[in-house]
C-alpha cells in the first residue's frame, strides 16, 4: 500500500491487510488504494484476472465506516460491475439488494517500460470522494 505516516492511515492499512488475509485463495491479485488527501479512506480488492475482471473480495474504509464483500467487516456489499484493461479499472460496489451504487473506484494507469503509476478516485456514496494512489500485487 502507499506509505502514510498518520495513525489513521496505519489503522486503515492494518484493517485492509487483516481483511485481505481472510479472502478466498482463488484471488490472483490485489489492488490496494489509499487516499492521498490525508483522510483514512482506503480500498483493497482481491481480483481474478480472466477474460473479464472478477472481483473476489473487497474491503473499504472511509470516515470511520467499513464495508466488505463477504460481510466479515462492517456493512456487507455486493459487486455491481467491473471492467479492467491496460489503461483503467472501473468497479462499482452495490448494496446487497442491488438497488444503489454505494462505492465506486475509477483507477487510471500509465506505464512506460518498467515505470508505472496508478491513481484515481474512490467515491463512497453519502460519505465522500477521495483521490487515491494504488498498488497492485
Q: Read off the pLDDT of residues 23-43 as tens digits, 9 standing for 90 and up.
A: 444 447 899 999 999 999 999
Q: Read off the pLDDT of residues 42-83 as tens digits, 9 standing for 90 and up.
A: 999 999 877 788 999 999 999 999 999 999 999 999 999 999
Compute the average pLDDT of residues 4-14: 43
**Are the C-beta atoms of residues 118 and 109 closer than 8 Å to each other?**
yes
Query: Rounded to whole angstroms, how far apart are CA atoms 38 and 28?
Result: 30
| Phi and psi at residue 123, to the nearest 5° | -115, 125
Find where cell 480472466 sits.
50
Nearest alpha-carbon partner for 31 in 8, 12, 56: 56
C-beta atoms surrounding 12 within 10 Å = 26
Q: Read off the pLDDT of residues 101-126 as tens digits, 9 standing for 90 and up.
A: 999 999 998 888 887 788 999 999 99
pTM of model > 0.85: no
**pLDDT score for 8:** 46
**pLDDT score for 77:** 98
The H or E element containing residue 17 is helix 7-21
- Stronger pLDDT, 111 or 19, i.e. the higher one: 111
DSSP tag of 7: H
Amino acid at each position: 500500500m502507499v506509505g502514510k505516516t498518520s495513525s489513521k492511515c496505519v489503522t486503515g492499512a492494518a484493517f485492509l491487510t487483516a481483511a485481505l488475509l481472510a479472502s478466498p485463495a482463488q484471488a490472483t491479485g490485489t489492488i490496494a488504494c489509499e487516499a492521498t488527501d490525508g483522510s483514512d479512506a482506503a480500498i483493497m480488492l482481491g481480483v481474478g484476472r480472466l477474460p473479464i475482471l472478477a472481483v473476489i473480495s473487497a474491503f473499504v474504509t472511509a470516515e470511520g465506516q467499513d464495508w466488505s464483500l463477504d460481510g466479515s467487516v462492517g456493512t456487507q456489499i455486493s459487486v455491481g460491475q467491473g471492467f479492467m484493461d491496460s489503461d483503467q479499472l472501473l468497479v462499482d460496489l452495490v448494496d446487497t439488494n442491488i438497488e444503489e451504487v454505494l462505492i465506486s473506484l475509477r483507477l487510471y494507469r500509465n506505464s512506460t517500460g518498467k515505470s508505472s503509476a496508478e491513481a484515481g478516485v474512490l467515491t463512497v456514496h453519502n460519505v465522500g470522494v477521495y483521490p487515491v494512489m494504488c498498488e497492485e500485487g
